[in-house]
C-alpha cells in the first residue's frame, strides 16, 4: 500500500543501482538490512518515520479516577477533578503531571465495547475486532509494523516492554512471524546478543559466510514464505548484535533517570523513549494491575502516582524532541470500571461507558470526543467502540485504514470494514 508519509525520504530517493550495490557489499543474504544501518540514511529515516507508543494500563483503569471524573455524585468517589493545560478540560487529581501535558493529548470519553472479560477486552482493544473462534487477527503493533514498512529498518518494528518474561510474541496472525512482537521482560534486552567469548571474531565471520552461502544455495530451489521469515529473523538478529546498546537504558543521563523515576515503570518509559528515538516503529509499555475489585481508591492512588510522572515526562520529551508530530500515543485498558462502588469499596469490570487518552501524530490536541451521562452509567454522546479506535489510530499515522493487505493474493482489510475513523479527532 502507498505510504505517503515516506515520500522524499533518503531511502526512497536512493537509486536502485546504488541500493543493490550497497546490498551486495553488505555481506547479508537476500533482502538484507545493511543499507538502512548507515548513519546518514538512519538519521533521515528517523526524521521522517511514523511511530506508535502504546501504554497499556492492564487490568482495567477506572475512568472515574482518571479521564472522566464525576465529582459530587454517588458514583464519583472521593477524588476531585483538576484543571489541565487546556481550558475547560478537567481530569482526576491523581494525574497532576499529565494534566499539564493535556495540550498535547486528547480524550475519548464515550467508549462502549460491551465486553467485560479481560482477555476478550484486551483482544478487542489491540486488534479492533471482537474475538471469535473463526479467525485470528493481528495486533496493532503487527499491523503498523507492516503498514509502516518496519521490515526496512535495521531494528525490530514491534517491541513490547513487559513486567514478565521476554521472548517472541504470537500476535501477528496472518501477517507472519516477521511482524510478531519482541518482548523485553522487565525491559531487559533480547537474550544472546553477545558473541560467546570462546568464538573469535574471525571464526564468527567465517561461520556467517558459510551460512550465507548455504542459505543462498538452499533458496535457489526452496524459497518460501517460511524461508523468507527465517532469513529476515536471522538478519535482524545480526543487526541487533551490532546495535545492542540501543537497549541499554543505563546509557541515559542520570538526570533523565531522576525525572522518570527509579521504579520499573519509569525505567520502562525511559527505555521506550530510547527505542523510539532509535527508530523502532511500535513500542508498548505495560503497567499493572488496575483490576481493583477491592479498595479501588487506595489502589488507584498508588498506581496512578507511579504512572503519572513518567508518562507525562515521556510525552513532554517526545514534544521537546520534535517527535510527537510523528508519534501516535495511546493510553488504553481492556475496559473501564463500574460506576457502582461495591461492598468492598471496589469497582468491577465495565465495558459500557469508559475512556482512553490519545495524542501525537494527526490527533487534534486538546480535543474531547463524546461524553457519558452525569453518573457515568451510559454513553450520552458519540458512542464509539474498538473498531472506531483502530481505524482512527491508522488514520492518525497517515495510513488509509480502509485499505488492504495482500495476503497470499487475497485482500485482507487493515481494519474492520464495519467501522470508520473518528474524523473529528483528526487534525
Q: What is the pLDDT of residue 48?
A: 66
Position 132 pLDDT exceeds 80:
yes
User: Taking a C-beta distance cutoff of 8 angstroms, is the pair 119, 380 a contact?
Assistant: no
Decide if 38 is inside a domain. no
Cα–Cα distance measured from residue 243 to residue 193, given in angstroms and rounded to the nearest whole number: 9
Cα–Cα distance measured from residue 275 to residue 354, given in angstroms and rounded to the nearest whole number: 30
Residue positions counted in the chain: 427
Decide if 18 is inside a domain. no
Identify whether residues 358 and 273 lie together within a single domain: yes
Q: What is the pLDDT of residue 210?
A: 74
Decide if 290 is inside a domain. yes
The string of pLDDT tens digits covering residues 54-92 is 999 999 999 999 999 999 999 999 999 999 999 999 999
pLDDT band at 117 (very low <50, low <70, confident <90, very high): very high
Identify whether residues 153 and 194 lie together within a single domain: no
Identify whether residues 378 and 317 lie together within a single domain: yes
Least-confidence region, from 35-49, 143-157, 254-268: 35-49
Identify whether residues 181 and 322 lie together within a single domain: yes
Decide if 25 is inside a domain. no
Decide if 23 is inside a domain. no
Position 32 pLDDT exceeds 60:
no
pLDDT band at 368 (very low <50, low <70, confident <90, very high): very high
Position 5 pLDDT exceeds 90:
no
Identify whether residues 162 and 207 lie together within a single domain: no
Strand partners, 92: 81
CATH of the domain at 393: 3.40.720.10
Least-confidence region, from 94-103, 163-172, 317-326: 163-172
Residue after which a domain boundary falls, among 232, 247, 262: 247
Structural domain total, the chain: 2
User: Taking a C-beta distance cutoff of 8 angstroms, is the pair 353, 379 a contact?
Assistant: yes
Decide if 138 is inside a domain. yes
Cα–Cα distance measured from residue 217 to residue 186, given in angstroms and rounded to the nearest whole number: 40
Decide if 21 is inside a domain. no
Identify whether residues 280 and 347 lie together within a single domain: yes
Identify whether residues 259 and 339 lie together within a single domain: yes
**Structural domain of residue 296, as residue ranges?**
49-186+249-425
Identify whether residues 134 and 238 lie together within a single domain: no
Q: Strands 51-58 and 282-288, how do they pair?
A: parallel
Identify whether residues 285 and 382 lie together within a single domain: yes
The string of pLDDT tens digits covering residues 140-192 is 999 999 999 987 777 889 999 998 877 888 999 999 988 999 999 998 876 65
Question: Omega into 60 within 30° of 0, i.e. cis?
Answer: no
Decide if 34 is inside a domain. no
The string of pLDDT tens digits covering residues 200-247 is 767 767 766 776 777 777 767 766 655 655 555 556 555 656 667 888
Cα–Cα distance measured from residue 342 to residue 178, given in angstroms and rounded to the nearest whole number: 45
* Per-residue 3-state assignment (H helix, E strand, C coil) for the chain: CCCHHHCCCHHHHCCHHHHHHHHHCCCCCCCCCHHHHCHHHHHHHHHHCCEEEEEEEECCCCHHHCCCCCCCCCCCCCCCEEECCCCCCEEECCCHHHHCCHHHEEEEEEECCCCCCHHHHHHHHHHCCCCECCECCCCHHHHHHHHCCHHHCCCCCEEEEECCCCEECCCCHHHCHHHCCEEEECCCCCCCCCCCCCCCHHHHHHHHHHHHHHHHHHHHHHCCHHHHHHHHHHHHHHHHHHCHHHHCHHHCCHHHHHHHCCCHHHHHHHHHHHHHHCCCCEEEEEEECCCCCCCHHHHHHHHHHHHHHHHHHHHHHHHHCCCHHHEEEEEECCCEECCCCCCCCCCCEECCCEEEEEECCCECCCCEECEECCCCCCEEECCECHHHHHHHHHHHCCCCCCCEEEECCEEEECCCCCCCCCHHHEC
Identify whether residues 225 and 324 lie together within a single domain: no
Identify whether residues 318 and 230 lie together within a single domain: no
The string of pLDDT tens digits covering residues 295-315 is 999 999 999 999 999 999 999
Position 13 pLDDT exceeds 60:
no
Report how far apart, in Å, the C-alpha atoms of 401 and of each of 23, 50, 69, 387, 391 are: 33, 15, 32, 11, 5
Identify whether residues 253 and 243 lie together within a single domain: no
Q: Strands 158-162 and 182-185, how do they pair?
A: parallel
pLDDT band at 28 (very low <50, low <70, confident <90, very high): very low
pTM of the model: 0.83
pLDDT band at 195 (very low <50, low <70, confident <90, very high): low
Amino acid at each position: 500500500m502507498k505510504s505517503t508519509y515516506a515520500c522524499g525520504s533518503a531511502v526512497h530517493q536512493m537509486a536502485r543501482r546504488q541500493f543493490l550495490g550497497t546490498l551486495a557489499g553488505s555481506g547479508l543474504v537476500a533482502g538484507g538490512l545493511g543499507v538502512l544501518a548507515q548513519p546518514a540514511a538512519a538519521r533521515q529515516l528517523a526524521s521522517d518515520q511514523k511511530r506508535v507508543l502504546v501504554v497499556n494500563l492492564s487490568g482495567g483503569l477506572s475512568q472515574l479516577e482518571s479521564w472522566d471524573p464525576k465529582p459530587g455524585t454517588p458514583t464519583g468517589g472521593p477524588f476531585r477533578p483538576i484543571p489541565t493545560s487546556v481550558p475547560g478540560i478537567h481530569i482526576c487529581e491523581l494525574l497532576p503531571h499529565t494534566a499539564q501535558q493535556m495540550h498535547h493529548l486528547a480524550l475519548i470519553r464515550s467508549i462502549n465495547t460491551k465486553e467485560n472479560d479481560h482477555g476478550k477486552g484486551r483482544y478487542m482493544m489491540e486488534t479492533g475486532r471482537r474475538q471469535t473462534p473463526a479467525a485470528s487477527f493481528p495486533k496493532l503493533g503487527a499491523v503498523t509494523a507492516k503498514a509502516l514498512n518496519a521490515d526496512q529498518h535495521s531494528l525490530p518494528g514491534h517491541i513490547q516492554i513487559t513486567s514478565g518474561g521476554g521472548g517472541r510474541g504470537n500476535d501477528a496472525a496472518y501477517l507472519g512471524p516477521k511482524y510478531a512482537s519482541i518482548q523485553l521482560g522487565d525491559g531487559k534486552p533480547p537474550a544472546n546478543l553477545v558473541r560467546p567469548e570462546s568464538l573469535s571474531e574471525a571464526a564468527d565471520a567465517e561461520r556467517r559466510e558459510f551460512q550465507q552461502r548455504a542459505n543462498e544455495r538452499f533458496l535457489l530451489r526452496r524459497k518460501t514464505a517460511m524461508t523468507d521469515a527465517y532469513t529476515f529473523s536471522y538478519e535482524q538478529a545480526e543487526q541487533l548484535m551490532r546495535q545492542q546498546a540501543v537497549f541499554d537504558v543505563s546509557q541515559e543521563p542520570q538526570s533523565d533517570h531522576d525525572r522518570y523515576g527509579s521504579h520499573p515503570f519509569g525505567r520502562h518509559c525511559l527505555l521506550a523513549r530510547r527505542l523510539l528515538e532509535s527508530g523502532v516503529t511500535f513500542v508498548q509499555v505495560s503497567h499493572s494491575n488496575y483490576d481493583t475489585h477491592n479498595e479501588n481508591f487506595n489502589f488507584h492512588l498508588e498506581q496512578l502516582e507511579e504512572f503519572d510522572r513518567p508518562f507525562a515526562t515521556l510525552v513532554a520529551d517526545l514534544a521537546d524532541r520534535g517527535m510527537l508530530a510523528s508519534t501516535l500515543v495511546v493510553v488504553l485498558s481492556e475496559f473501564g470500571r463500574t460506576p457502582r462502588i461495591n461492598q468492598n469499596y471496589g469497582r468491577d469490570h465495565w465495558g459500557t461507558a469508559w475512556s482512553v487518552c490519545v495524542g501525537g501524530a494527526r490527533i487534534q490536541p486538546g480535543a474531547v470526543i463524546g461524553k457519558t451521562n452525569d453518573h457515568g452509567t451510559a454513553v450520552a454522546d458519540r458512542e464509539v467502540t474498538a473498531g472506531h479506535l483502530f481505524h482512527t489510530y491508522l488514520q492518525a499515522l497517515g495510513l488509509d485504514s480502509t485499505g488492504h493487505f495482500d495476503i497470499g493474493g487475497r485482500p485482507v482489510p487493515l481494519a474492520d470494514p464495519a467501522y470508520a475513523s473518528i474524523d473529528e479527532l483528526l487534525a
